[in-house]
Amino acid sequence: MIAAPIPHDEDKRLQALRALLILDTPPEERFNRITAFAAFEFDVPIVLLSLIDDERQWCKSTFGTDFCSSSRDISFCGHAILQDQIMVIEDATQDVRFHDNPFVTGEPHIRFYAGAQLVLPTGEAVGSFCLIDRKPRTLDENDLSILSTLRQMVVTELVANSDKSVDH
Amino acid sequence: MSLHAYKNSKLPLVLLYDSEYMIRSVFALLANQTAKASVMETAHLPTANNLCQTNAFELVIIGMGQEHEEKHFIELIRGGMTLTDKSVPIVVMTSAITEGLLYELKSLNVTDILLKPTRVKAIHDVFLRNIN
C-alpha cells in the first residue's frame, strides 16, 4: 500500500477546509440528497462525501455505509485530492497503491473507486466526492461528466455553508 | 444563466419540466458545463407553458404527473399554439405507462418515453439523439 503524499499547499488547504466550519457537523439533507442521487445514477452501493483533514478522512455525507472517518494514510480520497482529473480505480486489487489497503482486503472490500476532488473557488482541494463498488467497474465520458457535475453541486453547497457561517 | 444570456446563446435551447429537483438541476448543470445546451428548467406546468410561449425550444422534456395533465401542454405545442416549433422533439418521463397512455403519446408524436425514476444519463442520451 502507498500512503497518499501530502499536497504542496497543505497548510493553505487545511486552513481553507477549517474555514468551511463543516468538520464534525451533523449530516445535512442538502448533501445527503446528492450522495443518494449519485448512488442511484451510477448504480453503486456506496457514495462518500469525504473531507481530508490533517490526519484523518472524515465524511460529511455517506450512502450505503455507516463509515464516518478513518486514518488519512489508508484513504483513497487522500490520493484523489492530488489529481486534477477524476481518479478512477477500475479494480483496486490490481492497483499497486491499493491492492493491500485494508479497505480492499477487508470491509467494505472496495474494488472500484471513482473520486472527484472537491476544489474550492480559491483553489484548495479539500476532499473528494466518490463512488465505490465491490466489483470492478468502468466509467465512460458521460459518466465522468455527470460525476463532475455532482461534484460541482457539492462544492457549491460547501461554499454556501461557509458564506452563511461568516455572515451569521 | 440569465434570460438575456439564454437568448444570445448559440447552444440548443432545451425545456425540462419535472417535479424532481435533482433531475432538473443536475441535467441543467451538466448541459451547461459540457456546453451542449442551454436548459431552462421548471417544476411548474404554467411556467413551462409560459416559457414555451416566449422561447423556441429545440427539445422539450416533460416529466408526467399522476393526472397526466401535461398531455394538454403537449397538444398546445403540437397544435402550433406556442413559439416553439410544433414539430419539436418531445420526450416524456412517466412512472407508469399503460396501453392507452402509450397510444395517446404516440398520437402526439412524442419522440421518446422514459420510465421514472429516470437517470440523468438516460436523459442525456436521449438529448444527444434528438439534438445531433
Cα–Cα distance, A137 to A24 (Å, whole number): 31
pLDDT score recorded for residue A67: 84
Averaged pLDDT, B62-69 = 91
Alpha helices in chain B (DSSP H): 3-8, 21-33, 45-54, 70-78, 99-107, 120-131
pLDDT above 50 (res A26): yes
Sorting pLDDT into bands at 50, 70 and 90, what band is B73?
very high
Q: Is the pTM of this model over 0.90?
A: yes
pLDDT above 50 (res A1): yes
Cα three-residue angle A150-A156-A159, rounded to 5 degrees: 140
Over residues A137-161, the pLDDT tens digits come to: 999 999 999 999 999 999 999 999 6
Q: Are B121 and A41 in contact (CB < 8 Å)?
A: yes
Averaged pLDDT, A10-20 = 97
What 3-state DSSP class applies to B96? coil
Taking the CA of residue B30 and the nearest CA in chain A, the distance in Å comes to 6
Q: Are A153 and B124 in contact (CB < 8 Å)?
A: no
Over residues A93-136, the pLDDT tens digits come to: 999 999 999 999 999 999 999 999 999 999 999 999 999 999 99
Q: CB-based contact (8 Å) between B79 and chain A?
A: no
- Please name the residue of chain A whose CA is at the shortest distance from the CA of residue B20: A37
pLDDT above 50 (res A167): no
Instruction: Name residues whose C-beta falls within 8 Å of residue A106's C-beta, 6 or more positions apart in sequence.
Output: none
Sorting pLDDT into bands at 50, 70 and 90, what band is B8?
low
Over residues B13-52, the pLDDT tens digits come to: 999 999 999 999 999 999 999 988 999 999 999 999 999 9
pLDDT above 90 (res B111): yes
Could you tell me if B37 and B61 are in contact, meaning their C-beta atoms sit under 8 angstroms apart? no
pLDDT above 80 (res B2): no
pLDDT score recorded for residue A5: 86
Q: CB-based contact (8 Å) between B119 and chain A?
A: yes
